[in-house]
Amino acid sequence: MPEPSVPATAAPPLGCLAIVGLGLIGSSIARGARRYGLAERIVAIDADATVRERVRDLGLADHVTDDAAEGGAQADLVILCVPVGAIGPVVAEMAPRLRAGAVVSDVGSVKASVVAAVGPHLPASVAFVPGHPVAGTEYSGPDAGFSTLFSGRWCILTPPEGTDEAAVERVRALWQGLGAVVETMTPEHHDLVLAITSHVPHLIAYNIVGTAADLEAVTESEVMKFSAGGFRDFTRIASSDPTMWRDIFLTNREAVLEMLGRFNEDLSALTRAIRWGDGEALHRLFTRTRAIRRGIVAQGQETAEVDFGRGRAGGGEP
Ligand code: NAP
């Protein structure tokens, strides 16, 4: 895992960093920015009074407020870490008081809908550089965050064509400072890739855990008692934040539906192979999928430990 690229002794590359939404992702950014000296000043903005109190207790920011416009007015870089559906309204609130030359970014798990929601609100003097760190856990809230969450993980930036290169660099430097490896692509391509690598797998997990819970012939206590490794891993994913995942499926509808179409066709082929006893087809597929797993481990995005690295923090998605 690459270490963050900014040594703690260097002058902070950023003046004021404002983080909106101090949950798992926002509080991890705040912790990392502090630990690696990435900003002179951190402003924390959150709508939830309990979260604000916790952020103060944990000392994650220099200034804590529920007023997005006031907090954002001080920032050189604003990172929006609220659920995807809240990003547009928060930007609308902040926009009139943002400084000329400020940069706004986000961490939303869907990109095309965020670009569409933010674009109309920002003045020309403020650049928007959408982002998505492909790192996380199934936990939420300010206590769930940790400074190394992004270390060695990908962060995808999807700047619209013509975005000021200096603005992109400001956001890239933050993520590299947090230890992430940055890649850029279009919002549409991001949404398609994440639909199959993250969104559909979560939907499958929500569905299989729901199906098991609804089975009349199997009691809920049996589901818990006899849950083998495979099902247990699904329950981990299916315990992810309901608001966040509702917003992801509502805003990445087209890409998810396209990938679900493909998934259903492949599932039908597997069903047929089982029905007709086509062991060769099953073995062929399972051999291919095993190679993909090994490729992910080889790229350092997962560990080959027996517990899949779940014992270590930060092994999750999306
Ligand atoms: P989280 O732990 O639930 O934190 C979100 C925080 O934002 C909460 O404190 C929430 O307050 C606050 N909030 C909600 N609406 C707000 C508003 N209008 N104004 C100010 N604060 C508001 O969520 P998270 O897991 O960090 O996810 C945040 C974002 O990161 C989402 O867009 C998600 O798609 C993206 N993301 C998540 C992961 C992951 O693994 N979790 C990974 C990559 C990207 P309440 O407690 O009152 O709701």
Mutate to test the pocket of ligand 1, among 19, 20, 22, 25 (most ligand atoms within 8 A of CB): 25
Mutate to test the pocket of ligand 1, among 24, 54, 202 (most ligand atoms within 8 A of CB): 24
23 lines ligand 1 (CB under 6 A): yes
**Distance (Å, whole) CA 139 – CA 182:** 24
Q: What percent of the chain has pLDDT over 70?
A: 92
Burial of 292 (0-12, 13-18, 19+ CB in 10 A): exposed
- Residue owning the nearest CA to atom 1 of ligand 1: 23
**Distance (Å, whole) CA 56 – CA 33:** 16
- Residue owning the nearest CA to atom 12 of ligand 1: 21
Residue 306 pLDDT level (bands cut at 50, 70, 90): low
Atom of ligand 1 nearest to the CA of 247: 34
What is the three-class DSSP state of 312? coil
Q: pLDDT value at position 5?
A: 53
* pLDDT at position 1 over 70: no
Going from the Cα of 17 to the center of ligand 1, the distance in angstroms, rounded, reads: 17
What would the two tokens of residue 222 be? 């049996």
Outline where DSSP puts E strands in the chain: 14-20, 39-45, 63-65, 77-80, 103-106, 127-129, 131-133, 154-157, 181-184
Mean pLDDT of the chain, nearest integer: 91
Going from the Cα of 87 to the center of ligand 1, the distance in angstroms, rounded, reads: 10
* pLDDT at position 313 over 90: no
Q: pLDDT value at position 249?
A: 97
90 lines ligand 1 (CB under 6 A): yes
* pLDDT at position 246 over 80: yes
Q: Which of 186-195, 215-224, 301-310 has the highest mean pLDDT?
A: 186-195
Atom of ligand 1 nearest to the CA of 66: 20
Residue 301 pLDDT level (bands cut at 50, 70, 90): confident
**Distance (Å, whole) CA 142 – CA 57:** 11
* Full strand arrangement of the beta sheet holding 131-133: 131-133, 154-157, 181-184
Burial of 139 (0-12, 13-18, 19+ CB in 10 A): middle
The domains located in the chain, with CATH, are 14-185 (3.40.50.720), 189-312 (1.10.3660.10)
Burial of 230 (0-12, 13-18, 19+ CB in 10 A): exposed
Residue 317 pLDDT level (bands cut at 50, 70, 90): very low
Q: pLDDT value at position 307?
A: 56
